[in-house]
Amino acid sequence: MPTGRQEAALWKRAAASYVDCFLCAHRCHVAPGKRGICQVRENVDGALATLVYGRVIARHVDPIEKKPFFHFLPGSRSYSVAAVGCNFRCGFCQNWQISQWPRTAAGAMPGETLAPEEIVSAAHRYQCASISYTYTEPTVFFEYARDIGILARQAGLKNSFVTNGFMTPEALAEMAGWLDAANVDLKAWQDSFYRKICKARLEPVKETIRRMHEMGIWVEVTTLLVPGQNDDAGDLKGIAEFLASISPDLPWHVSRYHPDFEMREPPATPLETLERAVEIGRGAGLRYVYGGNVGTMEDTVCPSCRATVITRLGFSVVERNLRGAACGKCGAALPLIIA
């Protein structure tokens, strides 16, 4: 049975009993007895340990649309799990109670102790088509996600990450063969936003999106629009053109922000800002741009004949007009992974 603490993956020994972690792009050089920036990996006697293996802080059965995924297993359920911790410190985090927990906690991490097999069997029991690693940052509970993910694949389930994308190429290489899909937050087009608001950097996130697409992992991207911070029209155009250069079929979700954690200002994103972002995305050549957290702008439309092929209400699929993964009206093949 998992205990919470076990030897981590993706690290190497350094001089003077330090260790170098290369799971995420912070690439922490960790002193003996200290933790990395994520606060869930610790140098124990010159070896790196993960403190969150098998420690589940949240698990729910969610519609896959809630992640959000609109082209990956639409209309299905996803068994969603998290451990505490994150390698970012976003001032507007909407799950900060669990993502930032380890910064204030010494010793053992909180959560139910569950073996990977128990997660996979629960996913089957609740008739889920996939397991999502979500709510906090799954990169920092990589070893647990990997062990669940491999078992899930063997059991006929798919796996998805909801991630900030701040992982290394070495970590991504370890996800080949079991990670099917990722919704990556591309939080802004300015590196200064990443440095100031998230205490991270932009470039590794862009690199992850590129590499995941090349690896055949299905990618959708989300940008939470924070008024006055990342919603400049030129910046949104930069994001949209970057995504379109990878693939015009890459779905982009532009979502409404609301004040949380350390950011009580500005107020929630106006609807007009979301509408403008959707237009910018389409203008850059993206075929699937969705407005999120507003209850409209969430239907999937066939780019060939403009028929609505998936109608959504909130996180529910209420109508499909599909033949397999093709448009039910004109028969055009669509970028959909159907359960």
Report the residue number, 36 or 149, with the smaller CB distance to ligand SF4: 36
Contact 178, 146 (CB under 8 A): yes
Q: Taking the chain, what is the end-to-end CA distance rounded to the nearest angstrom?
A: 32
Which secondary-structure segment (H or E) carries 80? strand 77-82
What is d(CA 148, CA 159) in angstroms, rounded to the nearest whole number?
Answer: 9
Closest to ligand SF4 by CB, 143 vs 298, is: 143
Q: How far is CA 117 from CA 2, 201, 239, 300, in A?
A: 11, 35, 39, 35
Q: Which residue, 37 or 184, is less far from ligand SF4 as judged by CB?
A: 37
CB of 97 to ligand SF4, least distance (A): 19
Q: Are 275 and 291 in contact (CB under 8 A)?
A: yes
Q: State the minimum distance, in angstroms, from the CB of residue 225 to ligand SF4.
A: 26
Phi-psi region of 156 (alpha: psi -120 to 50; beta: other; left: phi over 0): left
Residues that bind ligand SF4 (CB under 6 A): 21, 23-24, 26-28, 36-38, 41, 87, 140
CB of 42 to ligand SF4, least distance (A): 9
Residues 6+ apart with CB under 8 A from 247: 213
Which residue's CB is nearer to ligand SF4, number 5 or number 158? Answer: 5
For ligand SF4, the closer of residues 31 and 305 by Cβ is 31
Cβ(339)–Cβ(72) below 8 Å: no
> Residue number with the shortest CB distance to ligand SF4?
36
Q: Which is closer to ligand SF4, CB of 48 or CB of 280? A: 48
**Closest CB 283 distance from ligand SF4, rounded Å:** 36
Least distance from ligand SF4 to the Cβ atom of residue 118, Å: 25
CB of 23 to ligand SF4, least distance (A): 4
- Residue 112's Cβ-count burial label (10 Å; 0-12, 13-18, 19+) is exposed
